[in-house]
Structure 1
Amino acid sequence: MESFNPCLDCGICCTHFRISFYWGESDEAPGGFVPAALTEKLTPFRSCMKGSNDVPRRCIALQGVVGEQVACSIYEHRPTPCREFPVYFDNGRPNPKCDELRAGIGLPPLPDPHPMGCGLA
């Protein structure tokens, strides 16, 4: 059974944030995993995903139509900021920033598994 993944019909975060990270995550570095060809250097120690440092922003790895159907072309090799941006927090609550960004493109808020405020904060 497939689990619900709101990111597959959204993708707005990939067009909103500059996706910057330590250059050692690039596959140019030993143990790195982010494809270097999809990054640009910001400083001697920081890189970002191409397209995310420009305005309008759109990460080069984002495929599809934002707000309809999207995917990350390097999902298994995405940088730390992408791995650490929570759609839902550890307590199961939706990230308000996701809801804010989703509203900007006409998507509904994320479903809240604890809508009655059952004591989880």
Structure 2
Amino acid sequence: MSSPSICESCGACCASYRVDFHPSELAGAADGVGVPVEMAIPLTPKLMRMKGTDDAAPRCIALAGEVGCQVSCTIYEHRPSPCHEFNPWAALGIADQACDRARLRHGMRPLSELQTLPKPI
């Protein structure tokens, strides 16, 4: 059995940031692929937002579990593009600052502090 990824034991980004996306990412009636319509709210004719991400204490409606313990995205295969693009690791494997900020908001150590650097030769 494999250990959970850093994201599956965190979820801070899903409970910290607004998630806005184009309506073309909504699930179509015919194929059902995309963000379920009932999980999003329209902001403008060209902008949708995941429910829960604009609350005073944001938490995406698709997030299941307890932040900082064990979480999962209930629509992982159909999540919107901002979620696809969010990565805890920036270029060269360095911890992403947005991830670090989200983790701090939820009382977790930032990934940048958890990284182990190679020992000098």
Q: Does TM, scored on the shorter chain, surpass 0.5?
A: yes
The one of the two structures with greater contact order (alpha-carbon pairs below 8 A, sep at least 6) is 2
Instruction: Give the corresponding residue for 1:87.
Output: 88
Aligned: 1:27 with 2:27: yes
| AA of the residue aligned to 1:43 | T
SS in 2 for 1:101: helix
Aligned: 1:37 with 2:38: yes
Instruction: Give the corresponding residue for 2:72.
Output: 71
Instruction: Give the corresponding residue for 1:12.
Output: 12
SS in 2 for 1:9: coil
**In structure 2, how many angstroms separate the alpha carbons of the residues matched to 1:117 and 1:57?**
39
Q: Per-residue CA shift, 1:27-48, capped at 9, x if unaligned?
A: 1388751111111101001001
Could you tell me the TM-score, scaled by structure 1's length? 0.82
Give the number of equivalent residue pairs: 117
Q: Per-residue CA shift, 1:75-105, capped at 9, x if unaligned?
A: 0000000000111123111112212221232
| AA of the residue aligned to 1:55 | A
1:106/1:53 Cα in 2 relative to 1: closer, same or farther (>3 Å)? closer
Between stretches 29-38 and 103-112, larger displacement belongs to 29-38
Identity of aligned residues (%): 41
1:91/1:4 Cα in 2 relative to 1: closer, same or farther (>3 Å)? farther
Q: Per-residue CA shift, 1:53-91, capped at 9, x if unaligned?
A: 222211100001111111100000000000001111231
| AA of the residue aligned to 1:25 | E
Write out aligned runs for 1:46-57 (5 A).
Answer: 46-57=47-58
Moved over 3 A (4+): 1-4, 28-32
Aligned: 1:102 with 2:103: yes
**In structure 2, how many angstroms separate the alpha carbons of the residues matched to 1:98 and 1:88?**
8
| AA of the residue aligned to 2:115 | D
| Unmatched tracts of structure 1, length 5 or more | none
